[in-house]
Amino acid sequence: MGKPMQVARHWRHFEEKYALIGGKCENGHLMFPYREICPVCGSRNVEKHKFSGKGKVVSWTIVRNPPSGFEYYKPYPLALVQLEEGPVVLAQLTDVEPEEIDFGMEVEMVTRKVREFDEDGIILYAYKFRPVLKPQKE
């Protein structure tokens, strides 16, 4: 009998956690996360679609009483981000102060540490969004 799959390796198989992989049906409807059946038209002909990772903040809140395992980050901003392609994603904002967040703020997806499991030494990474970096003038 083979060794059971390690948790870290298991998480690497979830493309949507690292690359914003969603779906696009034969009628052009985009969805995130990926679904086998289009929620708009019911099509079963859905292909994987990689989103750009760019979007705008639609709404946000500051989480002050986080769920177990996320106390390290408190308080932290959690936002609804509408991707350029249309779908809305719920994600943590990073690299931004709460008073800097505003409706319509342009953001981009980044991969960041979400959680660390002390007992196993496993670190879980996933997508978060940060303000779009502006090119520096020389």
- Would you call 9 helix, strand, or coil by DSSP? helix
* Predicted pLDDT at 1: 40
Domain ranges in the chain are 7-131
**pTM, to two decimals:** 0.78
* Predicted pLDDT at 3: 42
What is the residue-level pLDDT of the chain in tens, covering all 138 positions? 444 445 555 555 555 566 788 999 999 999 998 999 999 999 999 999 999 999 999 999 999 988 877 777 778 899 999 999 999 999 999 999 999 999 999 999 998 877 777 666 677 778 899 999 876 666
The H-assigned helical ranges of the chain are 7-12, 15-19
Please state whether 82 falls in left (phi above 0), alpha (psi between -120 and 50) or beta. beta
Amino acid at 54: K
Of all helices (H) and strands (E), which one includes residue 107?
A: strand 106-117
* Predicted pLDDT at 136: 63
Q: In the CATH hierarchy, which top-level class contains the domain 7-131? A: mainly beta
| Order of strands, sheet of 21-25, starting from the edge strand that comes earlier in the sequence | 30-31, 21-25, 46-50
* Predicted pLDDT at 120: 66
Indicate the Cα dihedral angle 76, 77, 80, 81, nearest 10°: -110
